[in-house]
Amino acid sequence: MTFCLNATIIKPEKDHDIKSAVILLHGYGGDGKDISMLSLNWKRHLPNTVFICPNGHETCSINPSGFQWFDLTVEEPKYILEQSLNAEKILNQFINEIKKNYNLKNNKICLSGFSQGCMMSINLGLTADEKFNCIVGFSGKIIDKENLKSRKKVSTDTLLIHGDSDQIVPPNFMLESKDFFIRNDIKIETHLIKNCDHHIPIESSSIALNYILKKIK
């Protein structure tokens, strides 16, 4: 099957059936291959999981070799929201294609992402018609809290991980997101990683893996 987004896909070994999926969304200027590196360790512990890492639908405005889910060159909240909602429509189509191709339902799919990909994962995971298995977000935030609150349909369990030295997306955004989740009765777990800037260290990867292992059975 041809998907609407190009993607790096890491399938289980041939003797293992696909019973679940982790969809990994890269950050601004990245690509699916970049974030697929998380699967190198995770797949050993999740032998029946397919890891799907799509490229953003747009070439990155400041890095033509990478991709974006929405443009960040215009610092206008309304514009960013509109762009993210467009990306959401495309990603929902992509997820539906994945579900059909691998015969999976939302409760067997973990949405995960870094930075801009984390922001998209949160939106997708809370506005779907059915709960996803979980959301695992690294170094992100909620794009527009009022908009998300008005569109929220489900309460997908969520893990957010952030570096305490992040200067690209400061860690206070994780605390604001946590407050949103609590106020909207969504089960949330957060971890602040010491001496960590805007990236995913081994510690964060391990915390995320352990969380996913508890959720995907």
User: What pLDDT shows up at residue 44?
Assistant: 95
User: What pLDDT shows up at residue 107?
Assistant: 98
**CATH number of this structure's domain 7-215:** 3.40.50.1820
User: What is the residue whose two structure tokens read 């929902």?
Assistant: 92
User: What pLDDT shows up at residue 175?
Assistant: 97
Is-contact 70 40, C-beta < 8 A?
A: no
Position 99, amino acid: K
User: What pLDDT shows up at residue 15?
Assistant: 87
User: What pLDDT shows up at residue 1?
Assistant: 78
User: What pLDDT shows up at residue 217?
Assistant: 76
Structure tokens belonging to residue 54: 């799509």
Tell me the mean pLDDT per 10 residues along the chain, length 217. 95 94 98 97 97 98 95 93 98 98 98 98 98 98 98 98 98 98 98 98 98 94
User: What is the residue whose two structure tokens read 């604001």?
Assistant: 176
